[in-house]
Amino acid sequence: MGLVVGPRVIDAGLSQLLVVIAPMSVAAGFPSPAQDYFDGRIDLNAYLIKDVTSTFIVRVAGHSMEQAGISDGDELIVNRALEPKDGSVVIAVLDGELTIKRLRITPNGVVLQAENPLFPDIRVPALSELTIWGVATRCLHHI
Q: Quick one: pLDDT at residue 37? A: 54
Q: Quick one: pLDDT at residue 71? A: 95
DSSP designation for 141: -
Return d(Cα 22, Cα 13) in angstroms, integer: 27
DSSP designation for 30: S
Task: Indicate if the pLDDT at residue 29 is higher than 70.
Answer: no
The angle at the Cα of 12, spanning 11 to 15, to the nearest 5 degrees, equals 90
Q: Find residue 34's DSSP bridge partners.
A: none
Tell me which of 15, 71, 101, 128 is the catalytic residue. 101
Q: Quick one: pLDDT at residue 39? A: 62
Q: Quick one: pLDDT at residue 21? A: 55
Decide: helix, strand or coil at residue 66: helix
Can you tell me the mean pLDDT for 51-73? 92
Q: Quick one: pLDDT at residue 9? A: 46
What pTM value is reported for the model?
0.74
Task: Indicate if the pLDDT at residue 20 is higher than 80.
Answer: no
Strands 97-106 and 89-94: antiparallel
Domains of the chain (ranges, CATH numbers): 3-11+51-140 (2.10.109.10)
Tell me which of 25, 32, 64, 88 is the catalytic residue. 64
Q: Write down the mean pLDDT value for the chain.
A: 82
* Model pLDDT for residues 104-124, shown as the tens digit of each residue: 999 999 999 999 999 999 999
101 labelled catalytic:
yes
* Model pLDDT for residues 70-90, shown as the tens digit of each residue: 999 999 999 999 999 999 999
Can you tell me the mean pLDDT for 7-14? 48
